[in-house]
A and B are shown apart, each in its own frame.
Chain A
Amino acid sequence: MLTNGHDNSPSKYITLVSSDGFEFVVLREAAMISPTIKGMLRGQFAEAITGRCQFPEVSGVILEKVVEYFHFWYKNRDKEDVPDMDIPVELCLELLVAADYFGLDSKLLPTTFYKTTQESVVLTFSLAFFALQNKHEIPYSMG
């Protein structure tokens, strides 16, 4: 998982784990548009070494959509007139919070990467997610 065989370069893929234990294997390059994930994978954190990021605040349904967006972005990053990604209405508000949490903001477009300190931001939104999920029982069933 850590390296891809012969050399010591990190694996092309990383694993994102949701609160309910679903694991998503994502192309590292695609996931790096999120400043939050980028921050987690930098330096000598456990996440950076194992390539495995736990998101105890994000449910599997939402993380699945976020992962879908990562690949949607990666596939269309050089294209013009990209069609909208399909998002069910009932997920939109949680995805808004998730977009805020992952830093997938409009100010950030594919050609730009920002160096921001995300740690404090992550903390704030962890609390937000916690509140959101405890308050309302979200009627999802997966798997």
Chain B
Amino acid sequence: MADEPSLPTLPPPLATSSAVMSFLGDRRKRARGMNTPSSLSTSSDPAVFSSDDDPALDNYVYGRRKKRYVGTWYDQHPASSDSADSAMGDDMRPPLPKPPKRQFRRQLDSGVYLGLEVSTDTDESFDLEPRAAKLPLSAKPPLLQSVARTRLSLEEVEAQRIIQSCVDTGKEEVDLSDLRLQSIANGILEPLSELTPIPTIAKDVAFEQKDPSIKLFLGNNSLRQFPLAILGIEYLTVLSLRANCLTEIPPAIALLKNLQTLNVAQNSLRFLPAELLDLMKKGGPLCSFQFHPNPFYQPQELSYCRWGAADYEERTFSPNSEVEVESIWTGITTTLQARTPVQFSDSARRICSDFCFPPENTPVREQLVQEDFWEVAVPKDAASRSLTQGPDPVMSRRGPPSLFEVALRAAMRAPELDELSSLLVDEGIPPHLPAAVDRAVQIHRMGGQTCCVCQRRMLSPVTEWIEFREVQRTSVKLIERGGTRTEVEQSTRMAANWVPFVRRGCSWNCIPYKAREPPSSEERTRLLVMPVS
């Protein structure tokens, strides 16, 4: 006993009974000392042993199977009398517990998946994700019942037919205009991301599989929401959303790296996402862009000093790599003209600054005040290092997100996203929380948003400001003369009005950089932008 490691105490009814000890001791093939009955249980595989319950000769006449036991010996119950134990008599053993009878009923998680009869690739209500646990707050039935979209509208069926024929024939122009579409399910547009043109097969032409260039026309419909499935079409080159009822273009539009033509005219847009600027830079893909008319925000004053604008662009945002222009490039660029003050809010969207954007559903064209580039108005109670010294993209990228943000991200995994905010509607719960959750759901549905300063993903933007930019069509020519290359740049203004682009930040650190000192009066007059004629 001393040289063997001691084992935990055995379960009481069997292990301690001397009957079992002797039962095992006699069964052993190799004697390793009668005092170490536990050596069987030290093996990692469950021990298998057999027992000859009754070795009487009669039992072997017709052939007899030995009983096999798997597992530790002390989990086994000595089954019946055998010769070794017969001396002790059956009455000495504890009675065997009866195994519970298996009930004949359905196992809920059988692992068998029964497919639906209808095809599921057009039905967006079919949710592949497993339903997560119900939220504990849903004690009462939610106020808003999300309408399950089981059937496509007639217009959508028509759109689906057109798309299917385009995919089948490899046609790259997908014309869905004038269909009176109110919305378009993601499942309908998804086949387009796999559309491949049929390569031309002709004599003396090398067979070549080229990348598709898909053109999608959704003009003259009544879309209220930007169809998100569009963002998944990698080779989309032309996108027309002319004459719809869109109020916002999702920031994730920057994912469409091959987009050459974009038409968002005649919508209800008040601003464009600043992420669109990724496509509108020198060497960028976009070469045609229609955006008027739209009820865009307008600047209040048109004569304006641009002192510090370059500093602001350079120091606020992490450096944006410009694509090298090879020889000739024509496309859309923008020039920063002015910006508004920053709207500061907390995660729950309570506004803390003097400046705030007008409410969303005002029909008139709103005019916004501007702020000089050498000033940043901050809320009174915010006394922070970076608010006075300007943002530091490296510093603000550090550290974990706030608990509010972390909890919001967790909430986005919930299955009942539509009902999420209604679960928070309750007396005593601050009324701004449901609004914040709604906003987060909206951002989540639009494909997420990153902070413009530190590039972190966020669901609760807390700073927001608008840049007014002039949109130009620019052509760049590279002229080589005597070994030196000079760029000749020529820009023509595309519209009389400045176009607002919204910037959003994830913390109160992520705000515009402030030029160190105001300009002198001569510089002020030199840099003054005169009213646009």
Stretch at the interface among B39-47, B52-60, B103-111, B398-406: B398-406
- Determine the distance from Cα of A61 to Cα of B268 in the docked complex, in whole angstroms: 46
The answer to whether the Cβ of A96 comes within 8 Å of any Cβ in the partner chain is yes
Q: Given A93-B135, A114-B381, decide whether A104 and B410 contact each other with a Cβ distance below 8 A.
A: no
User: Chain B residues with Cβ under 8 A from A131's Cβ?
Assistant: 426-429
Interface size for B (C-beta < 8 A) is 57
How close is B393's CB to chain A, nearest CB, in angstroms?
Answer: 11
Q: Given A105-B346, A114-B382, decide whether A87 and B400 contact each other with a Cβ distance below 8 A.
A: no
User: Chain B residues with Cβ under 8 A from A104's Cβ?
Assistant: 402-404
Whether A99 lies near B139 (C-beta < 8 A) is no
How close is A42's CB to chain B, nearest CB, in angstroms?
Answer: 16
How close is B204's CB to chain A, nearest CB, in angstroms?
Answer: 53
Q: Given A77-B400, A93-B137, decide whether A106 and B506 contact each other with a Cβ distance below 8 A.
A: yes
Whether A89 lies near B410 (C-beta < 8 A) is yes
User: Chain A residues with Cβ under 8 A from B429's Cβ?
Assistant: 97, 128, 131-132
The answer to whether the Cβ of B77 comes within 8 Å of any Cβ in the partner chain is no
B386-430 residues with Cβ-Cβ distance < 8 A to A are: 386-387, 395-411, 413-414, 420, 423-424, 426-430
How close is A128's CB to chain B, nearest CB, in angstroms?
Answer: 5
> From A116, which residue of chain B is reached at the shortest CB distance?
B381
- Determine the distance from Cα of A76 to Cα of B309 in the docked complex, in whole angstroms: 35
The answer to whether the Cβ of B136 comes within 8 Å of any Cβ in the partner chain is yes
User: Chain B residues with Cβ under 8 A from A94's Cβ?
Assistant: 136-137
- Determine the distance from Cα of A95 to Cα of B399 in the docked complex, in whole angstroms: 20
Q: Given A106-B506, A108-B507, decide whether A137 and B139 contact each other with a Cβ distance below 8 A.
A: yes
- What is the 8 Å Cβ interface bit string for chain A, positions 51-63, against chain B (1 contact, 0 not)? 0000000000000
The answer to whether the Cβ of A98 comes within 8 Å of any Cβ in the partner chain is yes
User: Chain A residues with Cβ under 8 A from B382's Cβ?
Assistant: 107, 114
Whether A111 lies near B403 (C-beta < 8 A) is no
User: Chain B residues with Cβ under 8 A from A135's Cβ?
Assistant: 139, 426
The answer to whether the Cβ of B443 comes within 8 Å of any Cβ in the partner chain is no
User: Chain B residues with Cβ under 8 A from A88's Cβ?
Assistant: 133, 410
Whether B509 lies near A69 (C-beta < 8 A) is no
Whether A90 lies near B402 (C-beta < 8 A) is no
- Determine the distance from Cα of A106 to Cα of B424 in the docked complex, in whole angstroms: 20
How close is A69's CB to chain B, nearest CB, in angstroms?
Answer: 5
A108-129 residues with Cβ-Cβ distance < 8 A to B are: 108-116, 124-125, 127-129
Interface size for A (C-beta < 8 A) is 54
The answer to whether the Cβ of A85 comes within 8 Å of any Cβ in the partner chain is yes
The answer to whether the Cβ of A72 comes within 8 Å of any Cβ in the partner chain is yes
> From B451, which residue of chain A is reached at the shortest CB distance?
A106
How close is B236's CB to chain A, nearest CB, in angstroms?
Answer: 30
Whether A111 lies near B398 (C-beta < 8 A) is yes
The answer to whether the Cβ of A91 comes within 8 Å of any Cβ in the partner chain is yes
Q: Given A96-B411, A130-B428, decide whether A77 and B403 contact each other with a Cβ distance below 8 A.
A: no
Q: Which residue in B400, B407, B508 is a CB contact (below 8 Å) of A76?
A: B400
The DSSP consensus for interface residues of chain B is loop
Whether B403 lies near A98 (C-beta < 8 A) is yes
Q: Given A84-B406, A100-B430, A114-B384, decide whether A106 and B399 contact each other with a Cβ distance below 8 A.
A: no
How close is B216's CB to chain A, nearest CB, in angstroms?
Answer: 35
Whether A107 lies near B133 (C-beta < 8 A) is no
The answer to whether the Cβ of A13 comes within 8 Å of any Cβ in the partner chain is no
Whether A132 lies near B344 (C-beta < 8 A) is no
Q: Given A94-B137, A115-B383, A130-B428, decide whether A107 and B508 contact each other with a Cβ distance below 8 A.
A: yes
Q: Which residue in A72, A78, A89, A106 is a CB contact (below 8 Å) of B405?
A: A106
- Determine the distance from Cα of A79 to Cα of B399 in the docked complex, in whole angstroms: 5
Q: Which residue in B386, B387, B433, B460 is a CB contact (below 8 Å) of A106?
A: B460
The answer to whether the Cβ of B330 comes within 8 Å of any Cβ in the partner chain is no
User: Chain A residues with Cβ under 8 A from B458's Cβ?
Assistant: 106
User: Chain A residues with Cβ under 8 A from B133's Cβ?
Assistant: 88-90
Q: Which residue in B348, B386, B426 is a CB contact (below 8 Å) of A111?
A: B386
- Determine the distance from Cα of A132 to Cα of B383 in the docked complex, in whole angstroms: 33
Q: Given A66-B403, A111-B509, A137-B139, decide whether A80 and B385 contact each other with a Cβ distance below 8 A.
A: no
The answer to whether the Cβ of A138 comes within 8 Å of any Cβ in the partner chain is yes
Q: Given A69-B403, A109-B507, decide whether A125 and B430 contact each other with a Cβ distance below 8 A.
A: yes
User: Chain A residues with Cβ under 8 A from B384's Cβ?
Assistant: 111-114
Q: Which residue in B132, B345, B401 is a CB contact (below 8 Å) of A89?
A: B132
Whether B428 lies near A138 (C-beta < 8 A) is no
B319-354 residues with Cβ-Cβ distance < 8 A to A are: 344-348, 352
- Determine the distance from Cα of A96 to Cα of B430 in the docked complex, in whole angstroms: 11
The answer to whether the Cβ of A6 comes within 8 Å of any Cβ in the partner chain is no
How close is B434's CB to chain A, nearest CB, in angstroms?
Answer: 10
Q: Given A93-B135, A114-B382, decide whether A105 and B509 contact each other with a Cβ distance below 8 A.
A: no
User: Chain B residues with Cβ under 8 A from A99's Cβ?
Assistant: 347, 402-404, 406-407
Q: Which residue in A82, A91, A102, A132 is a CB contact (below 8 Å) of B426?
A: A132
How close is A20's CB to chain B, nearest CB, in angstroms?
Answer: 16
Q: Which residue in A77, A107, A111, A124 is a CB contact (below 8 Å) of B385?
A: A111
Q: Which residue in A112, A132, A137 is a CB contact (below 8 Å) of B508?
A: A112
The 7 A-B residue pairs whose C-beta atoms are closest, nearest first, are A131-B428, A104-B403, A110-B399, A87-B410, A112-B384, A95-B407, A99-B404
Listed A/B pairs (17) with beta-carbon separation below 8 Å: A72-B400, A76-B400, A81-B397, A82-B400, A90-B133, A91-B410, A96-B408, A97-B429, A99-B347, A107-B352, A108-B507, A110-B398, A112-B384, A112-B508, A114-B384, A132-B429, A138-B136
7 further A-B pairs in the complex, CB-CB below 8 A; given A106-B404, A108-B402, A128-B429 = A84-B406, A95-B403, A96-B408, A98-B407, A99-B406, A107-B346, A107-B352
Instruction: Please list the residues of chain B having a beta carbon within 8 angstroms of any beta carbon in chain A.
Output: 132-137, 139, 344-348, 352, 381-387, 395-411, 413-414, 420, 423-424, 426-430, 433, 436-437, 458, 460, 462, 506-509
